[in-house]
Chain A
Amino acid sequence: EVQLVESGGGLVQPGGSLRLSCSASGFTFSSYAMHWVRQAPGKGLKYVSTISSTGGATYYADSVKGRFTISRDNSKNTLNLQMTSLRLEDTAMYYCVKDHWSGSFRDFDYWGQGTLVTVSS
């Protein structure tokens, strides 16, 4: 059974930093691209970032480019999101998401339950 378990969320002041992690199990983690998607309270889904299966390619939404860094450790089946210079508008539930297809960037077939990031003074 595929499981994605996020951790690391919490309350942080504007300008602060936070590191999210996602522990993956139930599939060959190193074969799939992984993504982060966020959802502000009461709002819709917003794409945040993607990392290829090997970690050699990364992509970011314009809203987080230069502030967030996605990474992965295939030996530990872990996905990370380092967030710096956090803004009020970064407040959201952050979902760790698995790509549907090995070796590609396509649709998202498994989602974690999310970790809540609140940016507030």
Chain B
Amino acid sequence: DIEMTQSPYTLSASVGDRVTITCRASQSISSWLAWYQQKPGKAPKLLIYKASSLESGVPSRFSGSGSGTDFTLTISSLQPDDSATYYCQQYNSYMFTFGQGTKLEIK
């Protein structure tokens, strides 16, 4: 199975900061990567698909990049509403796998 490793595990940043979360695949997944945001007690929400495509309705401060094994999710100017846990997910193979999550806190 393809393993997905996110870093950091937790992140604390201030409103207005630029924030980057990294996701690394154990083997090449081309651009078959998605990012999700999950707030406590809620279902995950799709932010980015195919590594860099912004899902409809998602604020443009969110962006994704990368291909192969290394990917990043960037929030250009952190907002209070962005406090959440973020997950990457590969869909290169039918055995979809998620990263372990990155908890983002607002200082």
List the interface of chain A (C-beta within 8 A of B).
35, 44-47, 50, 59, 61-62, 95, 100, 105-109, 111-114
Contacts and interface: CB of A to CB of B under 8 A. Distances in A.
Q: Could you tell me the dominant secondary structure of chain B's interface residues? A: loop
B34 A107 contact: yes
Interface stretch (B22-30, B67-75, B88-96): B88-96
Specify which of A50, A62, A100 lies most central, judged by the most chain B CB atoms within 10 Å of its CB: A100
Interface residues of B, number: 23
B94 A59 contact: yes
Contacts of A114: 43
Interface of B: 1, 32, 34, 36, 38, 43-46, 49-50, 55, 87, 89, 91, 94-101
A111 B44 contact: yes
B46 A109 contact: yes
Contact of B96 (A47, A62, A100, A111): A47
13 contacts: A35-B96, A44-B99, A45-B87, A45-B89, A50-B96, A59-B94, A95-B44, A107-B34, A108-B44, A109-B49, A111-B44, A111-B45, A114-B43
Contact of B49 (A44, A59, A100): A100
A10 B101 CA distance: 26
A111 B87 CA distance: 14
Contacts of B87: 44-45
A47 B46 contact: no
Specify which of A95, A107, A108 lies most central, judged by the most chain B CB atoms within 10 Å of its CB: A107
